[in-house]
Amino acid sequence: MTSADTTADDQSERYDPHTIERRWQRVWADEGTWEVANPGQPGFDAEDPKAYVLEMLPYPSGEPHMGHLKVYSVGDAIAHFRRRHGHNVVHPMGYDAFGLPAENNAIKTGEHPRTATEKSIAAFREQFKSWGISIDWTREIGTHDPDYYRWTQWIFLKLYEQGLAYRTEAHVNWCPKDATVLANEQVIDGHCERCGTLVEQRRLEQWFFKITDYADRLLEDAAELDWPENVLTMQRNWIGRSEGAEVVFSCEQPALEFPVFTTRPETLFGATFFVLSPEHPEIERIAAGTGQEDAVRDYVNEAARSTSEERGAEDRPKTGVPLGREVVNPVNGERIPMFVADYVLMEYGTGAIMAVPAHDERDHEFAETYDLPIRRVIEGDELPYAGDGAMVNSGRFDGKDNREAYTEIVAWLESEGRGKPAINYRLRDWLVSRQRYWGAPIPFVYCDKDGIVPVPADQLPVLLPEIEDYAPKGKSPLAAAEDWVNTECPVCGGPARRETDTMDTFVDSSWYFLRYLDPGNEELPWAREVADYWMPVDQYIGGVEHAILHLMYARFFTKALADMGLLAAQEPFANLFTQGMITRDGAKMSKSKGNVVSPAEYVERYGADAARTYICFMAPPVKGGDWSDEGAEGVFRFLARVWRLSREVAERCGSSAGAETPDGASGEARELLAKAHWAIDKVTRDIDPRFQFNTAVSAVMELVNDVYRLKDGLYDDPAGSAAVRFATATAASLLFPFAPHLGSEVYEQLTGERVWEQPWPKADPALLEHDTYTLIVQVNGKLRDRIEVATSASEEEILELARGSEKVGAHLDGGEVVKEVVVPGKLVNIVVR
């Protein structure tokens, strides 16, 4: 179309999302429509039930992408839905503003991470507002704000008081490119989660949070959560609880005891050798004086050099070196040789294992390689055999079932003081130190006299110093800020040095949902009565990529904070919804593939309502969805169709106040009202328990299609006209959670009312019932006829009608009727032979 074709008059007749969207956004901003009061504040209504609707907070980098549009579109629909069900809804927004990308940018360009971050925040905020998301903006936070990280530091100190934060030297994952340590959770296949660089092992003094103390509670309480099963499974696997026994092997020369963890204590008689991890602290002592010193040292050094990926490689042959010593098997006094081998990990169990080659695949492989004895102790398939069976070669346990032997052997070990039942976890403590600039400083100082000293709470926040050079040098860039580093000890007043590491940004996001509730509180991170009113989050929405990291850390924090008496909630997120990823041409959107669709571009072209509604319509939100420009445009056309309908209906039917279901309709008017109530019922059920927004939107499309189909025959009759107006207003009302601007516009046009102030419509059961229905008639399970029958018809009557059908008769074909199945309200199936 050329501009010459467009007259001024045409313009006013065209659906113009920008005008409509700006108009309503201004109303909501001016009136503070989405602001909600806390307990004790004016306007707070204790009578209403509460709902905390929360999407995962965004990391502000550049501009929002489609994933953001999706998560906030989904969350906003829920927030609107709950509000119109009479809930006090808190729906806040903030920014996970510390982190590496801003800092890496600073290294490249010299731009302060704060400047870049705040630029991004401004862009995010502006776009979120242009999307019309119903956020209470008075609660906005940024985790990089000293008013926020002051409390992150405060919580760190609280954890320290409780013994849940500690500093120790440990083998840690080190990313040479980012020049920082990483948590186990941030190492993917031996590579840095962020930059993909191969991770190295280093031994460093680091801060940890003792999440392992909560392993059992994190595991048990997961059962109570209304979360997707796959997320719960991932968390269970990550915690990796295994039950077994600790068994003590002793070494005579040098005199040492070696506890090992095993899940198969009943195979103890099959232990034919013993293996230590290369990182085991006693290695050198054991090998000393055996003539194996050099070989062992070489092996240990080699293991230290190799990366965790090399060591973890799938088909890597087992290697090891004899230590030249023996340990004694406590069940039979047998001496078995000791080895050092890198298939034993120092981080799990005790860093030592008893090797049972007959019943463990790895031990078997090692025994084959080094020609070590293999002794079967459980009958069964070929070796290595990991199943159950009767015990053999196990002294007085022979012939017993292995499960039974398990219990008896553990009991016997315990009575002898050589073992006990034990539980091991895969979960490790959370390493939180980062040798980077752009994060919350860890609030401690080191004093020669007083050691590790927490910064007193009244001296918080420990502000990030301004520095010149952000480039990592193997220690934190903060170390260069001499004036800042050198301080005085809070205990003795003597000279002391500040901790120069900053916190993992997952610490920031482990409690943000609490700060939203009381963001202005200067005395405490939140007032307990406020948190206890709102918590837990009733509906949390975000990507499944945070199934382990963020969601586990936030659960841990919540439990720890509850244990300190700061909170009643034991779990942060009662319900979790994980949205699927939006792809383009079947592939993840990425700059390198050049298939990125930016929300801003689309919103500019078709409006926020169309963008949001399309996101909800393209696929069930839990699944991914492939972005198609044509499909998106189709939704825009649908919204325009609604808008045009609304103009026409307002003109033809008038815009009387309210949207009550008109009484006394019959014929097509009644049919339309019934359709409207069907849509109410369908949309309501699709939104709430099902999160099937795509079928909810399609139900509204069906309703609108029916209005178009029937309207011309109804305008002239008052009852018909009322039905058309009601159906159209209902469509707007049901569309509102997805397309809030257009929903508001149309609803106001037809009723004079504000849709968000109206309760969510309720389907009238009387209108969901029909006088007749289409009976399906099958012969041998195949559809042969459809008959319109009265809803009131009895089974006998239905059967009579079915038998009487000509089409059915043609298929009975003289066969013998052996069975007739009648499902009233649905179908008849006649079985012939």
Partner RNA sequence: GCCGGAGUGGAGGAACGGCAGACUCGCGGCACUCAAAAUGCCGUGCCCUUCGGGGCGUGUGGGUUCGAAUCCCACCUCCGGCACCA
For RNA, the binding residues in 250-279 under the rule CB under 7 A are: 261-264, 277
User: Considering only residues 37, 288, 313, 452, which one is a binding residue for RNA as defined by CB under 7 A?
Assistant: 313
Residue 742 Cβ vs RNA, minimum distance, rounded to whole Å = 15
Residue whose tokens read 């019309």: 132
Specify the residue, 530 or 697, whose C-beta has the smaller distance to RNA. Answer: 697
Instruction: Read off φ and ψ for residue 378, nearest 5 degrees.
Output: -130, 130
Does 816 interact with RNA (rule: CB under 7 A)? no
Cis preceding linkage at 254, omega within 30? yes
Tell the residue number behind the tokens 């008893």, with chain if given.
Answer: 354
Contact set for RNA, span 464-503 (CB under 7 A): none
What phi, psi does 532 have (nearest 5°)? Answer: -70, -25
Q: How many residues bind RNA (CB under 7 A)?
A: 88
351 contributes a contact to RNA by CB under 7 A? yes
Quote the least distance from Cβ 384 to RNA, whole Å.
11
Q: Does 98 bind RNA (CB under 7 A)?
A: no
Residue placing its CB nearer to RNA in the complex, 529 or 795: 795
Adjacency order of strands within the sheet including 165-175: 180-182, 165-175, 200-209, 430-431
Smallest gap from residue 244 Cβ to RNA (A): 5
Report, in Å, the least distance between residue 286 CB and RNA.
Answer: 17
Q: Nearest approach, Cβ of 10 to RNA (angstroms)? A: 9
Decide if residue 819 touches RNA (CB under 7 A): yes
Q: Which of 183, 701, 732, 793 binds RNA (CB under 7 A)?
A: 701
> If you count them, how many residues does the chain have?
833
Please select the residue that binds RNA; options are 301, 332, 459, 705, rule is CB under 7 A.
705
Distance CA 782, CA 812 (A): 12
* Min CB(447)–RNA separation in Å: 37
DSSP 433: E
**Strand, helix or coil for residue 252:** coil
Closest distance to RNA from the beta carbon of 266 (Å): 11
Burial of residue 769, with CB atoms counted within 10 A of its CB: 0-12 exposed, 13-18 middle, 19 or more buried: exposed
Q: Which residue has the tokens 């007259």?
A: 7
With both helix axes pointing from N to C terminus, report the angle between 608-617 and 17-31 in degrees, rounded to the nearest 10.
100
Q: Are 456 and 462 in contact (CB under 8 A)?
A: no
Interface mask (CB under 7 A) for RNA, residues 411-450, using x and -? -------------x-x------------------------
> With respect to RNA, which residue has the nearer C-beta, 352 or 517?
352
The one among 708, 772, 791, 817 contacting RNA by CB under 7 A = 708
d(CA 781, CA 290): 81
**Cα–Cα dist 226/539, whole Å:** 10
Q: Establish if 312 lies at the interface with RNA (CB under 7 A).
A: yes
Q: Which is nearer to RNA, 130 or 692 (CB)?
A: 692
Provide the minimum distance between the beta carbon of 124 and RNA in the complex, in angstroms, as a whole number.
25
The distance of closest approach from Cβ of residue 25 to RNA in the complex, given in angstroms and rounded to an integer, is: 25
Among 256, 491, 548, 719, interactor with RNA by CB under 7 A: 548
Q: What is the rounded distance in angstroms from the CA atom of residue 241 to the CA atom of residue 243? A: 7
Nearest distance in Å: CB 803, RNA: 15
Q: Which is nearer to RNA, 219 or 485 (CB)?
A: 219
- State in angstroms the smallest separation of the CB of 674 from RNA: 15
**CA angle, 472 as apex, 470 and 473 as ends, to 5°?**
125
> Binder to RNA among 314, 381, 458, 466 (CB under 7 A)?
314
Residue 170 interacts with RNA (CB under 7 A)?
A: no
Using rule CB under 7 A, residue 24 touches RNA? no
Q: Which of 103, 342, 668, 748 binds RNA (CB under 7 A)?
A: 342
Q: Does 188 bind RNA (CB under 7 A)?
A: yes
Cβ of residue 77: shortest distance to RNA, in angstroms? 16
* Residue 641 near RNA by CB under 7 A: yes
Q: Which is nearer to RNA, 68 or 264 (CB)?
A: 264
Question: Which stretch, 126-134, 488-496, 543-551, 590-598, contacts RNA (CB under 7 A)?
Answer: 543-551
Closest CA relative to residue 432, chosen from 553, 339, 318: 553
Segment interacting with RNA, rule: CB under 7 A, options 27-35, 97-105, 227-235, 409-417? 227-235
Closer of 253 and 774 to RNA (Cβ):
774
Among 23, 203, 396, 807, binds RNA (CB under 7 A): 807
Scanning 457-465, 473-481, 520-528, 817-825 for contacts with RNA by CB under 7 A, the matching segment is 817-825
Q: Which residue has the tokens 């539980």?
A: 423
Burial 138-167 (b: 16+ CB within 10 A, else e): ebbbbbbbeebbbbbbbbbbbbbeeebbeb
Name the minimum Å distance from CB 679 to RNA: 11
Name the DSSP class of 727. H
List the interface residues with RNA, window 360-419 (CB under 7 A).
Answer: 360, 362
Instruction: Show contacts with RNA in window 607-636 (CB under 7 A).
Output: 617-620, 623-626, 628, 630-631, 633-635
> Which of 123, 141, 127 is closest to 54 using CA atoms?
141
Cα distance between residue 772 and residue 766, in whole Å: 14
Neighbour-count burial for 418-446, b at 16+ CB within 10 Å, e otherwise: bbeebebbebbbbbbbbbbbbbbbbbbbb
What residues numbered 103-142 form the site for RNA, per CB under 7 A? none
Q: Which of residues 676-695 bind RNA (CB under 7 A)?
A: 692, 694-695
| Contact status, residue 768 vs residue 646, Cβ threshold 8 Å | no
List, as one string, the DSSP characters of 164-220.
-EEEEEEEEEEETTTTEEE-GGGEETTEETTT-PBPEEEEEEEEEE-GGGGHHHHHH
Nearest CB to RNA, comparing residues 524 and 810:
810
Closest distance of CB 92 from RNA, Å: 29
Q: Which amino acid is at 742?
A: L
Segment contacting RNA (CB under 7 A): 170-178, 309-317, 456-464, 721-729?
309-317
Looking at the DSSP bridge assignments, the partners of residue 421 are 245
Smaller CB separation from RNA, 244 or 443: 244
Q: Assess 240 for contact with RNA (CB under 7 A).
A: yes
Q: Tell me the closest approach of the beta carbon of residue 278 to RNA, in angstroms.
A: 11
CA-nearest of 766, 820, 606 to 16 is: 606
Identify which of residues 469 and 626 has a Cβ nearer to RNA in the complex.
626
Q: Are 164 and 560 in contact (CB under 8 A)?
A: yes
Please identify, using beta-carbon distances, which residue of 499 and 706 lies nearer to RNA. Answer: 706
List the one residue from 242, 307, 393, 749 that touches RNA (CB under 7 A). Answer: 242
418 contacts 394 by C-beta, under 8 angstroms: no
State the nearest-atom distance from the C-beta of 831 to RNA, in Å. 4
List the x/- string, 757-786, binding to RNA by CB under 7 A. -----------------x-x-x-xxxxx-x
Rounded Cα–Cα distance for residues 100 and 832 (Å): 72
Greatest distance between any 2 Cα atoms in the chain: 108
Q: Where are the alpha helices (DSSP H) in 323-432?
A: 361-370, 402-416
Segment near RNA (CB under 7 A), from 322-330, 523-531, 555-563, 820-828? 820-828
Decide whether 26 or 770 has the Cβ nearer to RNA: 770
Q: How far is the CB of 120 from RNA (least distance, A)?
A: 26
Residues 6+ away with beta carbon under 8 Å from 413: 245, 247, 265, 330, 331, 419, 420
